[in-house]
């Protein structure tokens, strides 16, 4: 472990061991480092697996456990692990003396966030989903400032409303690069690019429904389709055979390393409703059909897509209603009406937040410096007015 640089202010980030928590933390780390901060990351063993994919920063492994899930027999062990995490976090916070602590949710973030609150340090929690997670909810109730990805985030404690700002969900550089090119409306008789993915492991329901839906399309629409489909290894052979019987153009893989570029080229996306996915689709202005993961905690995936759909930037259906007949109808409507697709794209773009990382960085810096919170970049007109007033 490298020694801290005393001349640099320190920011401590705390994140749960999933990509949905770790990648937004990585984007913030990159911006804070560019602003002159020394950045440290506190996570658990699961989070450390992501280190090769993250912005380089000091890292600290903490024990982590949750008391919310699991059987009653394991409760004493989980409680003991939680206490060890809290004491370890108190030691870490008092040793590093960070100017600000930023939590990204997940139970590994609980110890550092609460240790910082009890130590009287500025704390900011970022919520990726449209429902405030349990750790972030508790931190907000105890005085942490809150950055949300959505304007209608649910389960925010009433006493936290004045400390809440919508920053958006920080986006990967690959997504921002892809967003530099605008959505290309398909021609009425031209190729129609359909991208299908369901997270890092794909979604079996998509593999089951897509070929059956395509079979119900007219031959002319089938000939126009170019399908790019992420498929689980267990479903690959069966899905290949199903598409093969239809003689449609389909590219199937378990993983697409260039997914943002493919999202940019797609005329339509079918996906789950993960927070990062919704943020990226909106930033790219790509029309989508969202099928939220059933049974997810607090129904967060359904809530993630709600605002986007209310604005007309996407469609959403529950998995039981995601049938071959339903999908064939949606595909027919959108393939026959490119102007409607462009309208959906414009509404999605209006919901997207390309400067989410910058807004979150400014929020953290304001807290670190004790300045009033200002996350919006000043407009050129307001900047000019301020300059004139200062010279007046």
**Is the Cβ–Cβ distance between 374 and 305 less than 8 Å?**
no
Measured between alpha carbons, how far is 219 from 239 in angstroms, rounded to an integer?
A: 20
* Helix (H) / strand (E) containing 355: none
pLDDT at 380: 43
Residue 283 CA: distances (Å) to CA of 260, 278, 300, 354: 11, 9, 20, 6
pLDDT reported for residue 124: 98
- Based on DSSP, count helices (H) and strands (E) in the chain, helices before strands: 16, 13
Domain 175-351: CATH superfamily, name plus number: Glycogen Phosphorylase B; (3.40.50.2000)
Stated as kind and residue range, the H or E segment containing 332 is helix 324-336
What is the Cα–Cα distance from 149 to 126, expressed in whole angstroms? 8
Helix (H, G, I), strand (E, B) or coil at 39: strand
In the structure encoding, which two tokens stand for residue 314, read together?
Answer: 């996407």
Q: What CATH superfamily classification does 10-170+354-385 receive?
A: Glycogen Phosphorylase B; (3.40.50.2000)
One fold for 10-170+354-385 and 175-351: yes
Rg of the Cα atoms in the chain: 23
Along the 392 residues of the chain, how does pLDDT read in single tens digits?
455 545 899 999 999 888 899 999 999 999 999 999 999 999 999 999 999 999 999 999 998 756 455 555 655 656 677 788 889 999 999 999 999 999 999 989 999 999 999 999 999 999 999 999 999 999 999 999 999 999 999 999 999 999 999 999 999 999 999 999 999 999 888 999 999 998 755 689 999 999 999 999 999 999 999 999 999 999 999 999 999 999 899 999 999 999 999 999 999 999 999 999 999 999 999 999 999 999 766 788 999 999 999 999 999 999 999 999 999 999 999 999 999 999 999 999 999 999 999 999 999 999 999 999 999 987 543 334 333 333 33
Give the Cα separation of 43 and 64 in Å (integer): 8
Q: 242: part of which helix (H) or strand (E)?
A: helix 236-246
**CB 330 within 8 Å of CB 344:** no
Whole-angstrom distance, CA of residue 64 vs CA of residue 85: 6
> Is the overall model pTM greater than 0.85, yes or no?
yes
- In the chain, domain spans: 10-170+354-385, 175-351
- Strand arrangement, sheet containing 192-196: 249-253, 225-230, 192-196, 268-271, 288-290, 315-316
Which helix H or strand E contains 253, and what residues bound it?
strand 249-253
Q: Running DSSP on this structure, what letter comes out for residue 378?
A: P
* Strands of 145-148's sheet in order across: 58-61, 38-43, 10-14, 100-103, 123-127, 145-148, 164-166
Give me the half-sphere count of Cα atoms (radius 13 Å) on the Cβ side of residue 207. 21
> Would you state the structure tokens that stand for residue 289, as one six-digit string?
């059909």
Closest CA relative to residue 15, chosen from 6, 25, 4: 25
CA–CA dist 120, 124 (Å, integer): 12
The helix/strand/coil state of 375 is coil
Phi, psi of 244, rounded to the nearest 5 degrees: -60, -35
> In this structure, is the dihedral angle defined by the CA atoms of residues 104, 107, 108 and 109, taken in order, positive or negative?
positive
Query: Do 39 and 147 form a contact (C-beta atoms < 8 A)?
Result: no
């Amino acid at each position: 472990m490298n020694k801290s640089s005393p001349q640099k202010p320190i920011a401590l980030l705390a994140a749960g061991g999933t990509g949905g928590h770790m990648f937004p933390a990585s984007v913030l780390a990159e911006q804070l480092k560019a602003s002159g901060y020394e950045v440290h990351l506190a996570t658990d063993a699961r989070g450390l697996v992501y280190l090769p994919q993250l912005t380089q920063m000091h890292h600290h492994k903490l024990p982590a456990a949750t008391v919310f899930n699991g059987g009653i027999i394991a409760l004493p062990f989980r409680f003991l692990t939680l206490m060890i995490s809290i004491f370890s976090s108190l030691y870490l916070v008092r040793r590093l003396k960070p100017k600000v602590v930023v939590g990204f949710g997940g139970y590994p973030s609980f110890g550092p966030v609460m240790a910082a609150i009890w130590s009287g340090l500025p704390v900011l929690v970022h919520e990726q989903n449209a429902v405030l997670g349990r750790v972030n909810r508790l931190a907000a109730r105890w005085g942490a400032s809150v950055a949300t990805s959505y304007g209608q985030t649910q389960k925010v404690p009433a006493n936290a409303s004045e400390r809440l700002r919508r920053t958006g969900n920080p986006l990967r550089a690959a997504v921002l690069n892809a967003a530099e090119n605008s959505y290309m409306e398909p021609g009425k008789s031209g190729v129609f690019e359909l991208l299908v993915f369901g997270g890092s492991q794909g979604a079996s329901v998509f593999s089951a429904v897509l070929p059956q839906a395509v079979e119900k399309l007219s031959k002319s629409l089938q000939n126009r389709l170019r399908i790019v489909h992420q498929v689980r290894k267990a479903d690959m052979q069966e899905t290949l055979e199903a598409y093969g019987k239809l003689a449609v153009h389909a590219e199937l893989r378990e993983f697409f390393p260039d997914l943002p570029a493919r999202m940019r080229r797609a005329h339509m996306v079918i996906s789950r409703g993960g927070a990062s996915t919704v943020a990226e689709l909106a930033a790219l202005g790509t029309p989508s059909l969202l099928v939220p993961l059933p049974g997810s905690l607090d129904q967060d995936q359904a809530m993630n897509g709600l605002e986007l759909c209310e604005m007309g930037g996407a469609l959403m259906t529950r998995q039981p209603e995601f049938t071959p007949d339903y999908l064939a109808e949606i595909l027919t409507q959108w393939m026959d009406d490119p102007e409607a697709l462009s309208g959906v794209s414009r509404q999605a773009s209006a919901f997207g937040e390309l400067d989410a990382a910058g807004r979150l960085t400014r929020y953290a810096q304001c807290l670190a410096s004790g300045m009033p919170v200002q996350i919006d970049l000043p407009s050129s007109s307001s900047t000019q007015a301020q300059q004139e007033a200062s010279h007046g």
